[in-house]
Amino acid sequence: MARIFITGSSDGLGSIVAQRLVAIGHSVVLHARNAQRAKDATAACPGAEAVVTGDLSSISETKSIADQVNKLGLFDCVIHNAGLFHGGFRKTSDGIPALAAVNTLAPFILTALITRPKRLIFVSSEMHQSGSTSMDDVFWARRGESEWSENAAYCASKLHNVIFAKAFARRWPDVRSNALDPGWVPTNMGGSSAMGSIDAAAETYVMLAEGEEADAKKSGRYYRPGKKEEKPQEATDDEEKQDRLLEICAKFAGLDVPS
Protein backbone atom coordinates (compact mmCIF):
# COMPACT_ATOMS: atom_id res chain seq x y z
CA MET A 1 0.00 0.00 0.00
CA ALA A 2 1.14 3.54 -0.74
CA ARG A 3 1.59 6.64 1.41
CA ILE A 4 0.17 9.68 -0.36
CA PHE A 5 0.04 13.43 0.34
CA ILE A 6 -2.71 15.46 -1.39
CA THR A 7 -2.83 19.25 -1.41
CA GLY A 8 -6.21 20.96 -1.39
CA SER A 9 -7.95 17.94 0.06
CA SER A 10 -10.47 19.50 2.45
CA ASP A 11 -13.20 19.35 -0.20
CA GLY A 12 -13.83 18.76 -3.90
CA LEU A 13 -11.89 16.21 -5.92
CA GLY A 14 -9.01 16.26 -3.46
CA SER A 15 -11.30 15.02 -0.70
CA ILE A 16 -13.10 12.54 -2.95
CA VAL A 17 -9.82 11.02 -4.13
CA ALA A 18 -8.49 10.90 -0.56
CA GLN A 19 -11.58 8.99 0.55
CA ARG A 20 -11.23 6.49 -2.29
CA LEU A 21 -7.56 5.91 -1.62
CA VAL A 22 -8.19 5.35 2.07
CA ALA A 23 -11.06 2.97 1.27
CA ILE A 24 -8.72 0.71 -0.73
CA GLY A 25 -6.10 0.64 1.99
CA HIS A 26 -3.68 3.46 1.27
CA SER A 27 -2.34 5.87 3.89
CA VAL A 28 -3.30 9.45 3.04
CA VAL A 29 -2.17 12.77 4.51
CA LEU A 30 -4.52 15.64 3.82
CA HIS A 31 -3.88 19.35 3.43
CA ALA A 32 -6.11 22.27 4.40
CA ARG A 33 -5.69 26.02 4.28
CA ASN A 34 -6.41 26.64 7.97
CA ALA A 35 -7.56 24.96 11.19
CA GLN A 36 -11.27 25.07 10.36
CA ARG A 37 -10.68 23.61 6.92
CA ALA A 38 -8.52 20.94 8.55
CA LYS A 39 -11.51 19.93 10.69
CA ASP A 40 -13.64 19.79 7.55
CA ALA A 41 -11.03 17.62 5.82
CA THR A 42 -10.84 15.18 8.71
CA ALA A 43 -14.62 14.97 9.00
CA ALA A 44 -14.93 14.17 5.28
CA CYS A 45 -12.11 11.61 5.35
CA PRO A 46 -11.92 10.23 8.91
CA GLY A 47 -9.59 7.42 7.87
CA ALA A 48 -6.79 9.80 6.86
CA GLU A 49 -3.46 9.46 8.63
CA ALA A 50 -3.03 13.18 9.33
CA VAL A 51 -3.72 16.67 8.04
CA VAL A 52 -1.22 19.49 7.55
CA THR A 53 -2.25 23.13 7.40
CA GLY A 54 -1.06 26.20 5.55
CA ASP A 55 -2.06 28.76 2.96
CA LEU A 56 -0.53 27.91 -0.44
CA SER A 57 -0.82 31.55 -1.53
CA SER A 58 1.95 32.40 0.98
CA ILE A 59 5.56 31.45 0.30
CA SER A 60 6.38 31.14 4.01
CA GLU A 61 3.31 29.02 4.75
CA THR A 62 3.97 26.79 1.74
CA LYS A 63 7.50 26.20 3.02
CA SER A 64 5.97 25.35 6.40
CA ILE A 65 3.69 22.79 4.75
CA ALA A 66 6.73 21.11 3.21
CA ASP A 67 8.37 21.02 6.64
CA GLN A 68 5.25 19.49 8.21
CA VAL A 69 5.13 16.83 5.51
CA ASN A 70 8.81 15.97 5.89
CA LYS A 71 8.39 15.54 9.64
CA LEU A 72 5.81 12.85 8.92
CA GLY A 73 8.37 10.80 7.01
CA LEU A 74 8.71 9.52 3.45
CA PHE A 75 5.88 9.44 0.90
CA ASP A 76 5.31 7.29 -2.15
CA CYS A 77 3.30 9.95 -3.95
CA VAL A 78 2.58 13.68 -3.77
CA ILE A 79 -0.52 14.96 -5.58
CA HIS A 80 -0.45 18.69 -6.34
CA ASN A 81 -4.23 19.01 -6.46
CA ALA A 82 -4.88 22.45 -4.94
CA GLY A 83 -5.84 25.18 -7.37
CA LEU A 84 -7.71 28.46 -7.81
CA PHE A 85 -9.83 29.61 -10.73
CA HIS A 86 -12.14 32.46 -9.71
CA GLY A 87 -11.67 35.19 -7.14
CA GLY A 88 -10.05 38.17 -8.83
CA PHE A 89 -6.48 39.43 -8.57
CA ARG A 90 -6.23 39.01 -4.77
CA LYS A 91 -2.69 40.28 -4.26
CA THR A 92 -0.80 38.21 -1.69
CA SER A 93 1.69 39.36 0.94
CA ASP A 94 4.40 38.28 -1.51
CA GLY A 95 3.08 40.75 -4.09
CA ILE A 96 1.57 38.41 -6.68
CA PRO A 97 -2.01 37.27 -7.40
CA ALA A 98 -3.18 34.34 -5.31
CA LEU A 99 -4.00 32.28 -8.40
CA ALA A 100 -0.39 32.40 -9.62
CA ALA A 101 0.89 31.67 -6.13
CA VAL A 102 -1.32 28.63 -5.55
CA ASN A 103 -1.36 27.16 -9.06
CA THR A 104 2.23 27.77 -10.17
CA LEU A 105 4.55 28.72 -7.32
CA ALA A 106 3.26 26.41 -4.58
CA PRO A 107 3.69 23.14 -6.53
CA PHE A 108 7.26 24.15 -7.32
CA ILE A 109 8.09 24.99 -3.69
CA LEU A 110 6.60 21.78 -2.37
CA THR A 111 8.36 19.67 -5.00
CA ALA A 112 11.66 21.39 -4.26
CA LEU A 113 11.38 20.96 -0.48
CA ILE A 114 9.50 17.73 0.20
CA THR A 115 11.78 14.70 0.37
CA ARG A 116 11.62 13.19 -3.09
CA PRO A 117 8.72 10.71 -3.45
CA LYS A 118 8.42 7.87 -5.97
CA ARG A 119 5.60 9.58 -7.84
CA LEU A 120 4.54 13.16 -8.53
CA ILE A 121 1.15 14.19 -9.91
CA PHE A 122 0.49 17.73 -11.12
CA VAL A 123 -3.20 18.50 -11.67
CA SER A 124 -3.65 20.53 -14.85
CA SER A 125 -6.59 21.22 -17.15
CA GLU A 126 -7.50 20.96 -20.82
CA MET A 127 -7.44 24.77 -20.67
CA HIS A 128 -3.64 24.57 -20.57
CA GLN A 129 -3.85 24.22 -24.36
CA SER A 130 -4.68 27.95 -24.50
CA GLY A 131 -2.02 28.95 -21.97
CA SER A 132 0.64 31.49 -22.91
CA THR A 133 4.12 30.00 -23.31
CA SER A 134 5.80 33.31 -22.41
CA MET A 135 8.11 33.24 -19.41
CA ASP A 136 8.44 37.03 -19.26
CA ASP A 137 5.94 37.73 -16.45
CA VAL A 138 4.89 34.38 -15.00
CA PHE A 139 3.54 35.87 -11.75
CA TRP A 140 1.89 39.00 -13.21
CA ALA A 141 4.25 41.15 -11.16
CA ARG A 142 4.86 43.58 -14.03
CA ARG A 143 1.39 43.60 -15.60
CA GLY A 144 -0.38 43.91 -12.25
CA GLU A 145 -4.07 44.15 -11.54
CA SER A 146 -4.79 46.68 -14.29
CA GLU A 147 -3.99 44.05 -16.95
CA TRP A 148 -5.24 41.05 -15.01
CA SER A 149 -7.14 38.37 -16.92
CA GLU A 150 -8.43 35.55 -14.75
CA ASN A 151 -8.87 33.23 -17.71
CA ALA A 152 -5.43 33.93 -19.19
CA ALA A 153 -3.77 33.51 -15.80
CA TYR A 154 -5.55 30.22 -15.16
CA CYS A 155 -4.71 28.77 -18.59
CA ALA A 156 -1.05 29.75 -18.18
CA SER A 157 -0.86 28.25 -14.69
CA LYS A 158 -2.28 24.96 -15.93
CA LEU A 159 0.33 24.98 -18.71
CA HIS A 160 2.96 25.47 -16.00
CA ASN A 161 1.66 22.37 -14.21
CA VAL A 162 2.27 20.21 -17.29
CA ILE A 163 5.69 21.80 -17.73
CA PHE A 164 6.54 20.91 -14.13
CA ALA A 165 5.52 17.30 -14.69
CA LYS A 166 7.78 17.03 -17.72
CA ALA A 167 10.65 18.99 -16.18
CA PHE A 168 10.84 16.77 -13.12
CA ALA A 169 10.38 13.61 -15.18
CA ARG A 170 13.47 14.66 -17.13
CA ARG A 171 15.53 15.80 -14.15
CA TRP A 172 14.58 12.95 -11.83
CA PRO A 173 14.53 9.69 -13.82
CA ASP A 174 13.92 7.73 -10.62
CA VAL A 175 10.60 9.56 -10.09
CA ARG A 176 7.45 9.06 -12.18
CA SER A 177 6.20 12.58 -12.73
CA ASN A 178 2.94 13.07 -14.62
CA ALA A 179 0.16 15.59 -15.19
CA LEU A 180 -3.55 14.95 -15.24
CA ASP A 181 -6.64 16.82 -16.35
CA PRO A 182 -9.63 15.83 -14.21
CA GLY A 183 -12.08 17.40 -16.64
CA TRP A 184 -14.92 19.79 -15.87
CA VAL A 185 -16.61 18.06 -12.95
CA PRO A 186 -19.41 19.17 -10.58
CA THR A 187 -17.38 20.26 -7.55
CA ASN A 188 -17.19 23.66 -5.83
CA MET A 189 -14.69 24.76 -8.48
CA GLY A 190 -16.47 23.22 -11.46
CA GLY A 191 -19.99 24.20 -10.42
CA SER A 192 -23.20 22.22 -10.53
CA SER A 193 -23.54 22.56 -14.31
CA ALA A 194 -20.28 20.73 -15.03
CA MET A 195 -20.78 17.73 -17.30
CA GLY A 196 -17.65 15.69 -16.50
CA SER A 197 -17.55 12.43 -14.56
CA ILE A 198 -16.14 12.53 -11.06
CA ASP A 199 -15.66 8.76 -11.22
CA ALA A 200 -13.62 8.97 -14.43
CA ALA A 201 -11.49 11.76 -12.96
CA ALA A 202 -10.91 9.85 -9.72
CA GLU A 203 -9.88 6.74 -11.67
CA THR A 204 -6.98 8.67 -13.19
CA TYR A 205 -5.87 10.08 -9.83
CA VAL A 206 -5.94 6.63 -8.24
CA MET A 207 -4.10 4.96 -11.13
CA LEU A 208 -1.23 7.45 -11.00
CA ALA A 209 -1.12 7.52 -7.20
CA GLU A 210 -0.89 3.73 -6.91
CA GLY A 211 1.66 3.46 -9.70
CA GLU A 212 0.90 -0.17 -10.53
CA GLU A 213 -0.76 -0.06 -13.95
CA ALA A 214 1.31 0.10 -17.13
CA ASP A 215 0.37 3.72 -17.86
CA ALA A 216 1.25 4.72 -14.30
CA LYS A 217 4.77 3.40 -14.81
CA LYS A 218 5.41 6.00 -17.50
CA SER A 219 6.76 9.47 -16.74
CA GLY A 220 6.40 12.91 -18.25
CA ARG A 221 2.93 12.13 -19.61
CA TYR A 222 -0.46 13.88 -19.57
CA TYR A 223 -3.65 12.00 -18.70
CA ARG A 224 -7.33 12.83 -18.94
CA PRO A 225 -10.39 11.27 -17.22
CA GLY A 226 -10.80 7.55 -17.63
CA LYS A 227 -7.02 7.00 -17.52
CA LYS A 228 -6.58 8.21 -21.11
CA GLU A 229 -3.18 9.46 -22.16
CA GLU A 230 -3.27 12.46 -24.50
CA LYS A 231 -0.79 14.88 -26.01
CA PRO A 232 -0.49 18.23 -24.21
CA GLN A 233 0.49 21.55 -25.74
CA GLU A 234 3.70 21.08 -27.73
CA ALA A 235 5.54 23.80 -25.81
CA THR A 236 5.57 21.62 -22.69
CA ASP A 237 8.35 19.53 -24.29
CA ASP A 238 10.61 22.56 -24.72
CA GLU A 239 13.48 21.89 -22.30
CA GLU A 240 14.58 25.53 -22.30
CA LYS A 241 11.10 26.60 -21.19
CA GLN A 242 11.09 23.87 -18.55
CA ASP A 243 14.40 25.06 -17.12
CA ARG A 244 13.42 28.71 -17.35
CA LEU A 245 10.18 28.16 -15.41
CA LEU A 246 12.05 26.32 -12.67
CA GLU A 247 14.62 29.12 -12.48
CA ILE A 248 11.93 31.81 -12.25
CA CYS A 249 10.09 29.97 -9.48
CA ALA A 250 13.27 29.21 -7.55
CA LYS A 251 14.45 32.81 -7.64
CA PHE A 252 11.08 34.19 -6.55
CA ALA A 253 10.78 31.68 -3.69
CA GLY A 254 14.37 32.07 -2.55
CA LEU A 255 15.27 28.46 -3.29
CA ASP A 256 17.73 26.55 -5.43
CA VAL A 257 16.56 24.86 -8.60
CA PRO A 258 16.26 21.13 -7.77
CA SER A 259 19.09 19.22 -9.42
Query: Domain segments of the chain: what residues?
Result: 3-253
Residues 76-101, mean pLDDT to the nearest whole number: 96
pLDDT score recorded for residue 195: 64
Mean pLDDT for the chain overall: 96
pLDDT band for 100, please (50, 70, 90 cuts).
very high
Predicted TM-score (pTM) of the model is 0.97
CATH number for 3-253: choose from 3.30.465.10, 3.40.30.10, 3.90.79.10, 3.40.50.720. Answer: 3.40.50.720
Catalytic residues: 154, 158
Residues 41-58, mean pLDDT to the nearest whole number: 98
Q: In this predicted model, what pLDDT tens digit does every residue of 179-206 receive, in sequence order?
A: 999 998 766 666 666 667 999 999 999 9
Residues 221-240, mean pLDDT to the nearest whole number: 97
pLDDT score recorded for residue 186: 65
Least-confidence region, from 29-33, 86-90, 105-109 = 86-90
pLDDT score recorded for residue 259: 87
pLDDT score recorded for residue 87: 85
pLDDT higher than threshold 90 for residue 72: yes
Residues 92-106, mean pLDDT to the nearest whole number: 98
pLDDT over 90 for what percent of the chain? 92
What DSSP letter does each residue of the chain carry, written as one string?
A: --EEEESS-SSHHHHHHHHHHHHTT-EEEEEESSHHHHHHHHHH-TT-SEEEE--TTSHHHHHHHHHHHHHT---SEEEE-----SS---B-TTSSBHHHIIIIIHHHHHHHHSPP-SEEEEE--GGGGG-----SSTTSTTTTGGG--HHHHHHHHHHHHHHHHHHHHHH-TTSEEEEE---S-SSTTT-TT--S-HHHHHHHHHHHHH--STGGG--S-EEETTTEEE---GGGG-HHHHHHHHHHHHHHHT-PPP-
